[in-house]
A = this chain, B = another copy of it.
Amino acid sequence: MIKINHLNSCEEDFYVKLSKLLSFNSTEDKSIEQTVESILSDIKVQGDEALIKYTNQLDRINVKRSSELEIPKSKWLEALNSIPENQKKSLELSAARIRKYHEYQKIDTWQYTEDDGTTLGQKISAIDKVGLYVPGGKAAYPSSVLMNAIPAKVAGVPELIITSPTPDGYMNPLVLAAAAICEVDRILTIGGAQAIAALAYGTETIPQVDKIVGPGNAYVASAKKKVFGTVGIDMIAGPSEILIICDGKTPAEWIAMDLFSQAEHDELAQSILLCPDASFIKQVKIAIDKLLPEMPRQEILKKSLSNRGIMIHVKDLEEACDISNRIAPEHLEISIEDPNKILKLIKHAGAIFLGKFTSESLGDYCAGPNHVLPTSRTARFSSPLGVYDFQKRSSLINVSRTGAIKLGKIAVDLALGEGLQAHAASAQYRINGE
């Protein structure tokens, strides 16, 4: 029997215990930092030459020219036609649903004109060039290509470049197929910190991009942090989490499997169940023990469930919402009969899965919303990846002759109050006129 942490919300030191179980060790590895720094500076200075050197060395391949680091579009289409028909169709259906959902997120340029003819507004434009990092090898995730590429394309990004390493020359055909479906613009077979450096600084053959998104290992994450400012980046994700609030009326095996579907990601992934029904929590534990031996990834499941899993017996569903708000989970399943009843109590969560038929896995792959979500309590202040991450805004200000007199007086007062006389004089010129 697997032992999972069990808490009762009426214990006096409940929040102390909970906060211990939520924390995880995220010490930064100094040796990774140093390796990344020297890779970044080599690529910045030596460009393609260093890029080829690192790529050959780290991915165990033998490339002579930088042009060999690109996969031509014909190969993506070949891959799309080579994968099993059901997977191709599922990728296409999923892409269409993701596209439809994200269309709702698009915002448009707006402006308004005041009585005196002054016009104010906000111009929305897509980011020009975006790099999308896709981890390589056998554990490559085509769904992650869809979730990152589609919002960028919906935003209208004209140049979307995938970089993905090909260790020992292997490229996952599902990733190529997903890229073909998303109509990305280029695919480069580079990875690690060297790929991030090439995208951030540009080389002779790789253009400097404006933003880099996508998941990666510790080297990629460290490189992204270091180039932030030179280019934009998305959030650096922590371990994945699910929190399930259940009234005890969903089949216990469904809940057990939902907890598994988070825990199977990696050993640090966290699965939490909040339920007011003690006997249901027991049933879920029994289901876990029954189902675990059938699972191919049971070694990972055992470690993440026993170290990071938490079952919490709560007073009622309202208290469950309170506790959930403190945790601000990445994924929140409200597996209760009338989920909309308590939805208004939820303040912080990356994605909210409502009702017993909405398993997290449906959202991960094909419901439509993005699966790139804020982890580690950052849902308190950040949002799922979306079209808005690939759009930017410029303020528009066009002050009329009359408006300049009215606004100029205010600006002069405030600028002088702040001791900025040139600001005041510049406004005063417009009051005086030519």
Given that A231-B381, A370-B395 are known contacts, is A427 also in contact with B361, CB under 8 Å in the complex? yes
Binary contact track A355-392/B, C-beta < 8 Å → 1, others 0: 10111111111111110010010111111101010001
Asked whether A393 is an interface residue with its Cβ less than 8 Å from the other chain, the reply is: yes
User: Given B94, B260, B295, B376, which contacts A410 in the complex, CB threshold below 8 Å?
Assistant: B94
Within 8 Å CB of A297, what residues of B? 419-422
Q: Which residue of B lies closest to A350 (CB)?
A: B394
- Complex CA–CA separation, A396 to B231 (angstroms): 31
Asked whether A400 is an interface residue with its Cβ less than 8 Å from the other chain, the reply is: yes
Given that A359-B430, A399-B357, A414-B94 are known contacts, is A407 also in contact with B367, CB under 8 Å in the complex? yes
B120–A413 touching, CB < 8 Å: no
A417–B366 touching, CB < 8 Å: no
Within 8 Å CB of A125, what residues of B? 347
B357–A400 touching, CB < 8 Å: yes
User: Given B211, B360, B373, B395, which contacts A363 in the complex, CB threshold below 8 Å?
Assistant: B395
- Complex CA–CA separation, A143 to B368 (angstroms): 42
Interface residues on A, range: 35 or more
A422–B257 touching, CB < 8 Å: yes
- Taking the closest CB of chain B, its distance from the CB of A367, in whole angstroms, is 5
Within 8 Å CB of A105, what residues of B? 122
A261–B94 touching, CB < 8 Å: no
- Complex CA–CA separation, A158 to B265 (angstroms): 36
Q: Which residue of B lies closest to A384 (CB)?
A: B395
Task: Kindly name the residue among A381, A408, A413, A422 whose own CB sees the greatest number of chain B CB atoms within 10 A.
Answer: A422
A422–B357 touching, CB < 8 Å: no
Within 8 Å CB of A174, what residues of B? 417-418
Q: Which residue of B lies closest to A362 (CB)?
A: B407
Asked whether A401 is an interface residue with its Cβ less than 8 Å from the other chain, the reply is: yes
A395–B351 touching, CB < 8 Å: yes
- Taking the closest CB of chain B, its distance from the CB of A364, in whole angstroms, is 6
Q: Which residue of B lies closest to A92 (CB)?
A: B410
Interface stretch of the complex, out of A14-22, A83-91, A312-320: A83-91
Asked whether A127 is an interface residue with its Cβ less than 8 Å from the other chain, the reply is: yes
Within 8 Å CB of A296, what residues of B? 419, 421
B347–A128 touching, CB < 8 Å: yes
Asked whether A327 is an interface residue with its Cβ less than 8 Å from the other chain, the reply is: no
Within 8 Å CB of A257, what residues of B? 422, 425-426, 429
Asked whether A398 is an interface residue with its Cβ less than 8 Å from the other chain, the reply is: yes
Q: Which residue of B lies closest to A140 (CB)?
A: B418
Q: Which of A232-263 contact B (CB under 8 A)?
A: 232, 236, 251, 253-254, 257-258, 260-261, 263
Within 8 Å CB of A378, what residues of B? 229, 232
Given that A360-B426, A362-B411, A397-B362 are known contacts, is A381 also in contact with B127, CB under 8 Å in the complex? yes
A415–B361 touching, CB < 8 Å: yes
User: Given B89, B94, B397, B409, which contacts A369 in the complex, CB threshold below 8 Å?
Assistant: B397
User: Given B90, B403, B410, which contacts A413 in the complex, CB threshold below 8 Å?
Assistant: B90
7 interchain residue pairs of minimum CB distance: A232-B381, A369-B395, A260-B422, A90-B413, A354-B398, A351-B395, A383-B393
User: With contacts A93-B410, A351-B395, A369-B397 known, what are 15 further pairs, Cβ within 8 A?
Assistant: A128-B348, A128-B380, A174-B418, A211-B380, A229-B236, A257-B429, A261-B425, A264-B423, A297-B422, A350-B394, A361-B422, A361-B423, A361-B424, A365-B423, A380-B392
- Residues of A participating in the B interface, judged by any CB pair closer than 8 Å: 86-87, 89-91, 93-94, 101, 104-105, 107, 110, 112, 118-120, 122-123, 125, 127-128, 139, 141-143, 174, 210-211, 229, 231-232, 236, 251, 253-254, 257-258, 260-261, 263-265, 295-297, 301, 339-340, 343, 346-355, 357-370, 373, 376, 378-384, 386, 388, 392-401, 403-404, 407-411, 413-415, 417-427, 429-430, 434
